[in-house]
Amino acid sequence: MDKLIIIDGNSIANRAFYALPLLSNSSGLHTNAVYGFTTMLLKLIEEEKPTHFLVAFDAGKITFRHKEYTEYKGGRAKTPTELSEQFPLIKELLTAFKITQFELSGYEADDIIGTLTKVADEKGKKVLLVSGDKDMLQLASDHVTVAITRKGITEVELYNPQEIKDKYGLTPAQIIDLKGLMGDTSDNIPGIPGVGEKTALKMLHEFGSVEEVLANTASLKGKMKEKVEEHAKDAIMSKELATIFREVPMETEWNSYRYDGFDGQALSGMFRKLEFKSLLEKMDFGPGAVAEDQVVESLEAVAVTETNVGDLVGKLSDSAAIHVEAVGENPHQAAPVGVVWFVDDGAENKSYYVPISLLKSEAGEPLRTWLSDASKKKQLFDLHRARLVLAWQGITLAGVDFDALLASYLLDPTESNLSLSGLTYKYGLPGVKTDEEVFGKGAKFRLPELTALSDHLGRKGMAVARIVPVLREELEKSGMQSLFYELEQPLAGVLAEMELQGILVDAEGLKALGVELVKQLDTIMASIYKLAGVEFNINSPKQLGEILFEKLGLPAWKKTKTGYSTDAEVLERLAPYNEIVGQILHYRQLAKLQSTYVEGLLKEVRPETGKVHTYYRQTIAATGRLSSQFPNLQNIPIRLEEGRKIRKVFVPSEPGWYILAADYSQIELRVLAHISQDEKLKEAFLQNMDVHTKTAMDVFGVEESAVDSNLRRQAKAVNFGIVYGISGYGLSQNLDISRKDAEQFIEQYFAVFQGVRKYMDDIVKDARRDGFVTTMLQRRRYLPEITASNFNLRSFAERTAMNTPIQGTAADIIKLAMVQMAERLKQDGLKSRMLLQVHDELVFEVPEHELETMRRLVPEVMASALPLDVPLSADVDYGLTWYDAK
DNA sequence: AGACTCACG
DNA sequence: ACGTACGTGAGTCTG
């Protein structure tokens, strides 16, 4: 039995576009509508098994309906470019699916569909019509079922004449009368003002059609009678507009719409281009499809044993791609699996997997020597991690000439899938299975048997060898060679050294702090329960919300997705109403200290050494900053005294040594002054003034003596806002003032700092033109959403365009300082060690006799890391703990 | 797994 | 009119 599926192309594309988040592939191409369309097609093909298929599109803007009514579809918002750019992709997709598509100038998709369903009715063929538009219900018949999308896209509601009768009490033909009476705002069809669905249905149940309603206005009453009579013409016209034209001159030969399956090769190619990874994985494209599309390279994966280790040793040369595998997120604790060497000797691809036990045994000695020989050039993926994993096994890794991870990060620091599997895929290279595919995840994680393991790891080694030349070239094209070779790659080594050194924690002191906190928490908890009159989980925002806003009846003014907001901003406003609120704030503060900074930190202390070894991640932050994990040592409390005490437990690892810390003063505003070349801002720094005071004087037009702490605070917030990519709303929130006042501040700021204004304008323009912004050292960040039609997305991209060059350049500078500092320590034979970086601060441990040297050297290196048109300056201090080095 | 909250620059 | 400040990581609760 034949079955024809007809899709209302524009309608479904629209539905998909608005139902799904704005997905895009790595080159910034938006794909959500295509994706939605694809899933719908796949579902229909699988569930309905059509023998015939057609997708109809609207063509051009003017149809015969406009001749009758020039305002037809007037006032409709322009299709966003994010959607319109997807139509060619959808058409390409349909070609790959081998589904007939049709559009005809002067007609809408509706009319094409109406014509073909008429043919189906005449021939008695079954049709499933899919649309998001209820107008289509007029086409329902014994042969034609109409599927209207519900929420989302793959869920539909089916209508045949009986169901339309049940739901509306109308025949399909009367759907047109319904629209004639009530109109349709989306198509700008007027109908009769004041008549909505309810009234229209009532009238139709009584009179049957628009014409009959108009002929019987006598039986209507009052205002309604007037309106109907007055707009009789509109109703007739609206009915005509809503009537689908069923005589489009088009192919009506049934079998020209035959559907006999997709072109697997074309479709898999399409999915790859669009990066529909989940679909690629789960779909069967038929024999040959993937093989044609994806490069496959043969590989002889050797699992090395004591017997054949000589083969590998014989092949070691001055350069090789290697891969170091270890299990576990934290490289300081990961369980090493082994090391792979990939050898491409022209004739064949061979990989050698050396299990860690073999590598550490006597037989592994020549391999270890090769790894630690700086003259042997290694290419690998994730130098930093590899170096740490091997270091904890007592094996040194030196002579790295290319880290594919670091390079891929620089090429696109927002890439979310920085894995060998994802990257080979992205660059169209021979594939690597994902670790999850091979190892499983969660409780099911386990290493496969030796052959599969050595093949998987061998392919990683091969992938490194293949991707390195591609990445080298890309780096060159983007002008990021020196950033890569002279800064980021050397920094990876510096970071590994810092982390391996670790920082000593006074665990006993920390425990004592914890005991004190628990005591206080107990007291506050009891007090909170008493004030609430009931015991509950204070840590649960849900329970807390119920207590505050329902039981105690405090005013709730801010909501989250799931209920009442109980964050600090809300609680601070509620504090005057009830004593309990202040107690809860205090509880939260201490509970945070206890769980994150006492218990959390203690869990990370290595019992053997008493130290914590954080893991700085170099490929996470989109701006080029570092991030810190296991534990995060970049967010140790400082703002409030109670929390700041945590810093007392970070101490030197050798007796008689000191902790020395140096932080840049206003580095971001200095960078802004340099990049923008704003005269006023430069002047502030050249004269070594307090920049917030200076801003207050200029923005508020007062003398220095008139700048009190409040004015300075406001000016400081303005400066922060400027760095973040200013918006009136954001500043108003921060300062708790009206948006109007905030906008006034910004206006005044820009009137004074005109160079800054010009920078902000220019950088947004540059980002629109280039699609990316850069830091002083040519670090890039792509901003595809800078051209979005969605206000929020676009605004976010604009603020990012303003902020990233500033935050990113500051990151460049401190990274330079770190590399230079590490070099100086070595060169000058100093014993002092660099331990931590906190974005604008470096922390060292220093023997007493080097204190004076370091107090001079560290700020000097930091200040001169990258010469700007304003001076950079770093403040330095030292003490027996991190707390005291303030 | 995601939401919420909060610590830092 | 739209509704957010920029960049992170960790602990806890909840469905």
pLDDT of res. A289: 47
Alpha-carbon distance values, A737 to A573, A653, A740 (Å):
14, 48, 8
Mean of pLDDT values over A237-258: 87
Whether A390 has a pLDDT exceeding 60, the answer reads yes
- In this predicted model, what pLDDT tens digit does every residue of A859-877 receive, in sequence order? 999 999 999 999 999 999 9
Which residue has the closest alpha carbon to C9 C1'? A632
pLDDT of res. A291: 42
Question: What's the pLDDT band for A236 if we cut at 50, 70, 90?
Answer: confident
Whether A183 has a pLDDT exceeding 50, the answer reads yes
Whether A560 has a pLDDT exceeding 80, the answer reads yes
Question: What's the pLDDT band for A154 if we cut at 50, 70, 90?
Answer: low
Q: Quick one: tokens of A667?
A: 């580095």
pLDDT, chain A, mean:
91
- In this predicted model, what pLDDT tens digit does every residue of A790-811 receive, in sequence order? 888 899 999 999 999 999 999 9
Which residue has better confidence, A203 or A350?
Answer: A350
Mean of pLDDT values over A710-720: 94
Nucleotide nearest to A590 (CA to C1'): B6
* Contact status, residue A377 vs residue A401, Cβ threshold 8 Å: yes
Kindly tell me the burial class for residue A754, based on how many C-beta atoms sit within 10 Å of its own C-beta (0-12, 13-18, 19 or more). Answer: middle
* Contact status, residue A707 vs residue A718, Cβ threshold 8 Å: no
* Contact status, residue A775 vs residue A804, Cβ threshold 8 Å: yes
Nucleotide nearest to A592 (CA to C1'): B6
3-class DSSP state for residue A504?
strand
* Contact status, residue A552 vs residue A580, Cβ threshold 8 Å: yes
Q: Give the predicted TM-score (pTM) of the model.
A: 0.75
Question: What's the pLDDT band for A286 if we cut at 50, 70, 90?
Answer: low
Torsional sign, CA A702, A705, A710, A714 = positive
Which residue has better confidence, A783 or A180?
Answer: A783
* Contact status, residue A756 vs residue A672, Cβ threshold 8 Å: yes
Question: What's the pLDDT band for A679 if we cut at 50, 70, 90?
Answer: very high
Question: What's the pLDDT band for A24 if we cut at 50, 70, 90?
Answer: confident
Kindly tell me the burial class for residue A61, based on how many C-beta atoms sit within 10 Å of its own C-beta (0-12, 13-18, 19 or more). Answer: exposed
Give the single-character DSSP code of A78.
Answer: P
Chain B bases closer than 7 angstroms to a protein Cβ: 1, 3-9
Mean of pLDDT values over A250-269: 84
Mean of pLDDT values over A349-359: 97
Percentage above 90 pLDDT, chain A: 63
- In this predicted model, what pLDDT tens digit does every residue of A128-148 receive, in sequence order? 999 988 888 999 998 899 988
Instruction: Check if residue A628 sits with its Cβ under 7 angstroms from strand C.
Output: yes
Instruction: Check if residue A740 sits with its Cβ under 7 angstroms from strand C.
Output: no
pLDDT of res. A65: 79
Which residue has the closest alpha carbon to B5 C1'? A567
Percentage above 70 pLDDT, chain A: 97
Rounded to an integer, what distance in angstroms lies between the CA atom of residue A654 and that of residue A849? Answer: 13
Instruction: Please state the three-class secondary structure of A313-338 as a single string.
Output: HHHCCCEEEEEEEEECCCCCCCEEEE
Protein residues in reach of strand B (CB < 7 A): A 442, 541, 560-563, 565-568, 571, 585, 588-589, 592, 596, 634-640, 643-644, 807, 838-841
Mean of pLDDT values over A615-627: 95
Question: What's the pLDDT band for A288 if we cut at 50, 70, 90?
Answer: very low
Give the single-character DSSP code of A884.
Answer: T
The H-or-E segment that residue A526 falls in is helix A507-532
pLDDT of res. A338: 98
Of the ranges A133-142, A259-268, A748-757, which is most confident?
A: A748-757
Mean of pLDDT values over A707-729: 92
Which residue has the closest alpha carbon to C11 C1'? A596
Mean of pLDDT values over A613-621: 96
Mean of pLDDT values over A274-282: 74
Instruction: Check if residue A631 sits with its Cβ under 7 angstroms from strand C.
Output: yes
- In this predicted model, what pLDDT tens digit does every residue of A295-341 receive, in sequence order? 678 999 999 999 999 999 999 999 999 999 999 999 999 999 999 99
Of the ranges A123-132, A271-280, A561-570, A625-634, which is most confident?
A: A625-634
pLDDT of res. A292: 40
